[in-house]
Amino acid sequence: MLAQATEKLRSRYGATALTNAAFALAVLVLIIAASLASEVFLTDRNLTSISRQIVTNGLLSLGMLLVILTGGIDLSVGSVLAFAGLLATGLQAHMPFPLAIAIALAMGLAVGFFNGFVIARFKLQPFIVTLAMMGSLRGLLYMYSDTPQYPVDPLFRSLLGGGFIGPMPVPTLIFLLALPVVWFYLSHTVSGRAVYAIGVNEEAVRLAGINVRKHIIAAYMASGFLASLAGVLLASRLGIAQPSVGVGYELDAIAAVVIGGGILGGGGGRVSGVFGGVIALALVDNVLNLFNVESYYQQFLKGIIILIAVLARRKPA
Amino acid sequence: MKHLGKLFLLGAFALMTVATAHLPAAAKDLKIGVVNLSLCCSYFVGMDQAIKDEAKVFPNVTVLSTDAKGDAAKLTSNVEDLLSQKVDGLIVSAAWIEAAPEALDAIKAAGVPVVLVDRMLKGGDFTSWIGPDNYAIGVGIGQYIVKRLNGQGLVVVLRGGPADNSIGLARTDGMLSEVEKAGIKVEAAPDFGGWSVDGGFKLMEDMLTKHPQISAVFCENDSMCQGAQKAIKDAGRSGDIFLASVDGEKGTLKEIMTEGTNYAATGLNNSDQIGRAGFHRLMAILAGAQAPKETVLPSPIITKDNAEKFYNPDSVF
């Protein structure tokens, strides 16, 4: 009976639409269950805290989505994030902070350009190129600063990390603005369409006379830029930039993309799915904390939850 | 007569107020949050466990413990999650990060007391700190090495890292202050050992190859020296190299007590003691006690002459 019903829906809306709807429903159920089970879940303080917590992984995941769509991967985002935070806070001693931020963001773009250029020009595996970048950049940022950097300008903290526009923390607002920008790029521009197509069949795109290299470089530059933006916002929120921050963040971003329906290897994934994936991961963290689940159980459960989410998205044979 | 009655009444009233003043305060439930940067290693697990053990004695005290898995940003959001749950006080074990201004500011804004254990955070206000003086422990070990070497020989130093870890730096600096004064040669391994047994093993292998004559090895923690000891043994040089480190964990104490060992000394840094002291410090503050801002716990140097006294086979660490 159920099988027939789902089959009907499938033939009408397609499998991905159905799994996406089921996924959105699952996130909604999680939210409702959390609000019923824990009296603190819906408090202002907790909601503000969740909304701040999604920013870092949210921005990294958007960049990761673009790169994964081309069939690549970007493992250097954690190092870029740490470096950008150090530059934006460390350079404030010598210049006004907006300029320091601009330099940090330019660094992210430059790293992205380098990644994309090497991958597209020399046809190297994105995994290895960005893994090498991840390591070298971490070494470089320790050379630049082996001690934490404190922001000099109090505005840097109060405007960005601690600021609110209405009830919304500024970093959250920046992330929420980034969502439609990336969505518009992917669904309404030639370059965005090309990014999808490259992940499906790079050769066909090349034969159609489209400059593949340019679009691959653009995807990695976007990833580098978003990672550096996340780093600046994180440093301003924590009130400090530490060289050892951001280790392992690339894995959370990849997880969010895949939970949201992205396909490693390219050609599949949506901004709405990534948003859901980021929310789901943040909720799981927050809810497990509110229920005082011991840390080791948390890690175990998180792994299982990711596995179930991916299993549920499996294409029917 | 009338006056007498009045007096009697007054006296009775006075007696009553005195009597009630000596009754214990009505029992109320207390919620205490423990914020761990990481539960990676037995040192920090032992501290967390010690706090829970002490709290178990009191039926109306609940402990909510969190683990940020080494991530400074997650530590800040864990603080927010605990404050959402209206904890009466917090204990923060920030391990290897230097500062967490946003986390401390959030605690201050919520108006709850916070006791820092082990790591004194910079850049923010806290109620009270209890922990070791890592520089002083280093000095103690340095004095031991000087006495044993008679101002001759080469000391190899194994550092934990990364470069922004000032705990390791303080230990090494303390040791160097004594050893360099005595004119003993020092050679630090170029890379970091990551505080682990395998890290110490790998670094020591390289140093053994490079230096045909080594008199002593100093490690920033016990684990690395346990690995280094194994590498020295494999190279057949146990007879001419002794080891000294910092922590006083169970395995090391047992080794120091073993007849004929070349593991000579460790500076006690007892996480169990720190955790218990931290819990009671917070309880006293919640009861209204004026606590000192900083309390340094004693860290004796342990050798084969006194190891028996400190060895506890049931300890976590």
Residue B94 domain-assigned (yes or no): yes
Structural domain total, chain B: 2
Residue B317 domain-assigned (yes or no): no
Q: Is the pLDDT assigned to residue B48 strictly greater than 90?
A: yes
A146 confidence band (pLDDT: 50, 70, 90):
confident
- Cβ of B162 within 8 Å of Cβ of A244? The answer is yes
Q: What is the pLDDT of residue B289?
A: 96
Lowest mean pLDDT among A186-195, B206-215, B238-247: A186-195
Residue B306 domain-assigned (yes or no): no
Chain A: give the shortest CA distance to residue B40, in Å.
10
Q: What percent of chain A has pLDDT over 70?
A: 94
* One domain, residues B285 and B196: no
* One domain, residues B162 and B252: yes
Q: What is the pLDDT of residue B7?
A: 53
Q: What is the pLDDT of residue B124?
A: 87
State how far the Cα of A276 lies from the Cα of A256, in Å rounded to an integer.
8
Q: Is the pLDDT assigned to residue B8 strictly greater than 70?
A: no
- Cβ of B70 within 8 Å of Cβ of A247? The answer is yes
* One domain, residues B190 and B278: no
Of the partner residues A239, A286, A298, the one whose CB lies closest to the CB of residue B102:
A239
Q: What is the pLDDT of residue B6?
A: 58
State how far the Cα of A262 lies from the Cα of A256, in Å rounded to an integer.
9
Q: Which residues of B touch A162 (CB under 8 A)?
A: 102
DSSP B122: B
A299 confidence band (pLDDT: 50, 70, 90):
confident
A243 lies within 8 A of chain B by CB: yes
First to last CA, chain B: 73
Domain enclosing residue B33, as ranges: 3-131+271-297
Over residues B143-174, the pLDDT tens digits come to 999 999 998 999 999 999 888 888 999 999 99
Contact, B58 vs B87, CB < 8 A? no
Q: What is the pLDDT of residue A39?
A: 86
Residue B309 domain-assigned (yes or no): no
CATH of the domain at B22: 3.40.50.2300
**What is the amino acid identity at position A83?**
F
Of the partner residues A49, A56, A238, the one whose CB lies closest to the CB of residue B100:
A238
Q: Is the pLDDT assigned to residue B16 strictly greater than 70?
A: no
What is the arithmetic mean of pLDDT over B290-313?
Answer: 93
CB atoms within 10 A of CB A12: 9
* One domain, residues B84 and B156: no
What is the maximal distance between C-alpha atoms in chain B? 102
Q: What is the pLDDT of residue B140?
A: 97
Helix axes A97-122, A212-238, angle to 10 degrees: 150
Q: Is the pLDDT assigned to residue A317 strictly greater than 50?
A: no
* One domain, residues B69 and B175: no
Q: Which of A34-48, A108-122, B299-313 has the highest mean pLDDT?
A: A108-122
Over residues B263-285, the pLDDT tens digits come to 999 999 989 999 999 999 999 99
* One domain, residues B176 and B199: yes
Over residues B250-261, the pLDDT tens digits come to 899 999 999 999
* One domain, residues B10 and B118: yes
Selected residues 152-171 of chain A with any CB under 8 Å from a CB in chain B: 161-162
* One domain, residues B110 and B201: no
pTM for the structure as a whole: 0.83
Chain B: give the shortest CA distance to residue A3, in Å.
41
A254 confidence band (pLDDT: 50, 70, 90):
very high
Q: What is the pLDDT of residue A257?
A: 95
Nearest CA in chain A to B82: A290
Q: Is the pLDDT assigned to residue B62 strictly greater than 70?
A: yes
Over residues A167-217, the pLDDT tens digits come to 899 999 999 999 999 999 999 998 899 999 999 999 999 999 999 999 999
Nearest CA in chain B to A43: B84
* One domain, residues B140 and B48: no
* One domain, residues B113 and B150: no
What is the arithmetic mean of pLDDT over B301-309?
Answer: 94
* One domain, residues B64 and B173: no
* One domain, residues B31 and B60: yes
Over residues A170-184, the pLDDT tens digits come to 999 999 999 999 999
Give the residue with greater pLDDT, B315 vs A95. Answer: A95
Mean of pLDDT over chain A:
90
Q: Which residues of A touch B72 (CB under 8 A)?
A: 238, 240, 242, 244-245
Chain B: give the shortest CA distance to residue A298, in Å.
9
Q: What is the pLDDT of residue A159?
A: 87
Spell out the SS3 assignment of B293-308: CEEECCCCEECCCCHH
Residue B8 domain-assigned (yes or no): yes
Q: Is the pLDDT assigned to residue B196 strictly greater than 60?
A: yes
Contact, B301 vs B144, CB < 8 A? yes
Q: Which residues of B touch A295 (CB under 8 A)?
A: 36, 39, 65-67, 69
Query: DSSP characters for A239-256?
Result: TSB-TTTTTTHHHHHHHH
Q: What percent of chain B has pLDDT over 70?
A: 91
State how far the Cα of A100 lies from the Cα of A116, in Å rounded to an integer.
25
- Cβ of B102 within 8 Å of Cβ of A237? The answer is yes
